Amino acid sequence: MPRIRHERFDCSPGCTVEGTLRYIDGKWKGVVLYHLLEGTMRFNEIRRRIPNCTQRMLTNQLRELEMDGLIARKVYAQVPPKVEYSLTPRGRSLEPVITALKVWGDANVTLAPEVSQAA
Partner DNA sequence: CATGACGGTATCCTTTTCGACACTATGTGC
Partner DNA sequence: GCACATAGTGTCGAAAAGGATACCGTCATG
Residues that bind a copy of itself (CB under 8 A): 6, 8-21, 23-25, 27-28, 30-31, 33-35, 49-52, 90, 93-94, 96-115
Pairing assessment for the beta strands 41-42 and 71-76 based on DSSP bridges = unpaired
Stretch 7-46 residues interacting with DNA (CB under 7 A): 25-27, 42-45
Phi and psi, residue 29, nearest 5°: -65, -40
* 82 touching DNA, by CB under 7 A: yes
19 Cβ contact partners less than 8 Å away, ≥ 6 residues apart: 6, 9, 11
Rounded distance, CA 54 to CA 114, Å?
20
Tell me whether residue 86 or residue 92 sits nearer to a copy of itself (CB atom). Answer: 92
Rounded distance, CA 16 to CA 22, Å?
10
* 53 touching DNA, by CB under 7 A: yes
Q: Among DNA, a copy of itself, none, what binds residue 56 when CB lies within 5 to 8 Å by partner kind? A: DNA
Please state the separation of Cα 112 from the chain's center in Å. Answer: 21
* 81 touching DNA, by CB under 7 A: yes
Q: Among DNA, a copy of itself, none, what binds residue 74 when CB lies within 5 to 8 Å by partner kind? A: none
Q: How far is the CB of 8 from a copy of itself (least distance, A)?
A: 4
